[in-house]
Structure formats: structure tokens, C-alpha cells
Amino acid sequence: MKTHFTSESVAAGHPDKICDQISDAIVDAALAQYPKSRVAVETLVTVNRIVLAGEVTTPKKLNYEKIARGVIKSLGYTKDLYNFTYKSPLSIYIHEQSPDIAVGVDDGGAGDQGMMFGYATDETPEFMPMPILLAHRLVERMDQVREKKIIPALRPDGKSEVKIVYENGKPKAVERVVLAVPHDPKVSNGQLKNLLFEHVVKPVVRKYKLKAPALKDVIVNGTGKWEIGGPASDTGVTGRKIIVDTYGAFARHGGGAFSGKDPTKVDRSAAYAARYIAKNIVAHRLAKRAEVRVAYVIGHREPLAKAIETFGTEKKSMKTIEDFAWKLLDLSVGGIIEGLKLRRPMYREAARYGHFGRNGFPWEKII
């Protein structure tokens, strides 16, 4: 049986990802200063404007302006031509955490309520769905060829979309690739398509040993023109890329964003815990696919509910799988934070190219 699935990703310089990285750079700075800092920060960027708002509770005041401008500069927004740069006007509206929330969190409870899902599949070495994994790798490579000036005409921002052909549940070929990226108009869109096909599409697809699309099956800049990207063309806000951040719509999502939140916020920490458990179930060959779901109540330490779904792919009894899974990690809020060592700076790096499927993060570790 043949089926198709499509997922998208966005480059590090996409407006929403600029915001995610600024918010998570603030989380990192707060945790570096004091591991028990409380952070819930949102960022908005638009034409020549940066706005920070939210709550931060930490012993010493952070230099929010320096953090935000440093992130924006590192992403390549350095030219007035873009109508948004690291020098753009910046407004800050940040105060301390609400005492009504703090009283529950101080006692080891969750900083919010909600449902979180974790997912893993054996269809890639990274235990991720192929469509979202390739979409991430394409924008990551697109950023690399811009930064290394392999394609010097590229400008910050960009998106990808990948359509994968599945046969009997296994990824077999890349049927279509869509790339969008702003560029110097001295290079035509047709010339850019050829360059991206050679330096981005072919190397990425080849790595995963799939049948690559033909040049005619690659779309670059669907309108035929994109010169200026970033916040000047599309306002960005923290937390709008939750499907990009997770599994590309291949698995369920509880609805909570990750970025800008310290690990007492279970939107973030419990989703990481669920991914950790799901990945280990699949990595230990207990099932070919696994979804772990948990739910929490604000101010309560333990999960309200927890369950595992293997979609009929289990290789051991569900009791064996559950016994293995629930011993991996204490799913109380404090148990997750301590078990995965989440009170340390690492979140800005997680805020681009997906939070899952890359080594180096504690929730990706296989025991």
C-alpha cells in the first residue's frame, strides 16, 4: 500500500524562530545565573521593532537587550536593507512570576496544566518521522550554505516542505521538495533553484538513502520572487511553530509551546520526558512506534494521567513495555527536572531545527 505524508520546517532566521531563540537565550542566561530561575518570556518581532514581555524571577537582573540583540546579529540580520536588524528599536516589559503560580511551583508542583505527547519511530536512525527530519535537515543545510557563502546570494529566513512516499508503512522516496528563501535579485530564481538542488537537496536526501526528486519536482519560492525575508515581511512571535518543533504533525500534540519557559513548565519538561521514554521504547526494540502521553495539573507534582500507545507494533507484551517505560524516569515534575538535568543552559540551541532528533540533549539519550 502506498501513502504520502508531508511536513515542513523553518530556518533559524524565520521570524517565529528568531523569537523562540531570543526567549530561550533568556532562559539559558537565567539558568546559568541561578538554576532555579523562573522564566516565561515571549518575544515579538516585526518591521524594525523588537518587543520582549513576560515574567522572570532570578536573583540578579539580566541584560535582556544585550541577549536579544546578540541573537539577532548572529542570525545574519545586520543590513539596513532587511528593514530589521540587531539595532532595531527594542521595548522590554518583563516582571516577576505571579505569586499565585509561584506558591505551587515552590512546593514542587507543575507550573501549568496540560497534556504532553512524546513519539518515536524506527523509520530513521534518529527515531523520528522521515518527513519532519528531512524538512529540518534541508533548512539547516540551507542556513549552512548561506553562512559559509557557498551560495552567497542567500539572505536570512527560509522554509522547507517535504512530501514522502511510504510503501507498506516505510519511507521509500522523496516525491516533492519545496524550499523558500530570500535572495539577492542579481541571482534569478531559476539559477537559485539549480544551486539549491545541487548544494542542499541532493546532499541531504542522499544521506538518508532515499530516491531523490528530479529537479522538476523541486519548487523554489512558489511566487517566483522573494528578496527580503524576516520580520519585515512576516511578524514573528514566540511559540507559533509547535508542530515544526516536534513531529511535523506525524504524532499528536498537547498544544503547549516550549520556548521561553523554564523546566518547571511541564509544556516543555514533560514533553521532553515523554519523548525520552518513547525513544527508549523503540531503541530497545520493544516496539517499532511508540507514543507516550502524560497530563498535569498546575501546582501538583505527579501526573494526572499517563499512558503508552504502540499502534500494534509492539514486540513484547504491553505489561513488559510499561514496566520498562515507567522505570526509566520519575514523572513527577521534580523527577523529570532532576532525572534529565534540565536546570542548565541548552535551550537556545534546541529552539532551531526541531527539539527532537538531534544528539546532545538529555531527552535524546538512549540508556
Domains (range + CATH), the chain: 2-9+130-229 (3.30.300.10), 114-122+266-364 (3.30.300.10)
C-alpha cell at 194: 539549480
Name the CA dihedral angle for 181, 67, 34, 36, rounded to a multiple of 10 degrees: -40
Using alpha carbons only, what angle is made at residue 275 by residues 238 and 259, rounded to the nearest 5 degrees? 15
CA atoms of 353 and 244, how far apart (whole Å) = 8
Residue 271: the pLDDT is 97
Res 300: pLDDT: 84
User: What was the pLDDT predicted at 222?
Assistant: 93
Pairing of strands 49-57, 38-46: antiparallel
> Alpha carbon 54 to chain centroid distance?
21
pLDDT confidence of residue 49: 98
- Which residue type does 154 have? L
Q: What is the 3-state secondary structure (H, E, C) of 334-350?
A: HHHHHHCCCCCCCHHHH
pLDDT of residue 189: 95
Q: Are strands 305-309 and 236-237 parallel, antiparallel or unpaired?
A: unpaired
Determine which helix (DSSP H) or strand (DSSP E) holds 173, and give its type and residue range.
strand 170-180
104 Cβ contact list (under 8 Å, min separation 6):
110, 111, 298, 299, 300
CB 215 within 8 A of CB 197: yes
Alpha-carbon span 343 to 340, nearest angstrom: 9
What pLDDT score does 113 carry?
81
User: What is the structure's pLDDT at 99?
Assistant: 58
Q: What is the Cα gyration radius of the chain?
A: 21
E-strand spans in the chain? Answer: 2-10, 38-46, 49-57, 90-95, 114-121, 159-167, 170-180, 218-220, 236-237, 289-296, 305-309
Q: Is 190 left (phi over 0), alpha (psi -120 to 50) or beta?
A: alpha
Greatest Cα pair distance, the chain, in angstroms, is 62
For 210-263, give the DSSP string. -BPPPGGGEEESTTS-----GGGTS-EETT--HHHHTTTTSS---S---TTB-T
Q: Give the whole-angstrom CA distance, residue 188 versus residue 223.
A: 13
- The residue type found at 189 is N
Spatial contact of 319 and 231, defined as CB atoms under 8 Å apart:
no
pLDDT profile of the chain (367 residues), mean per 10: 95 98 98 96 98 95 97 98 98 80 59 90 97 98 98 97 94 96 96 97 92 93 94 97 97 96 95 98 98 92 94 97 98 96 98 97 97
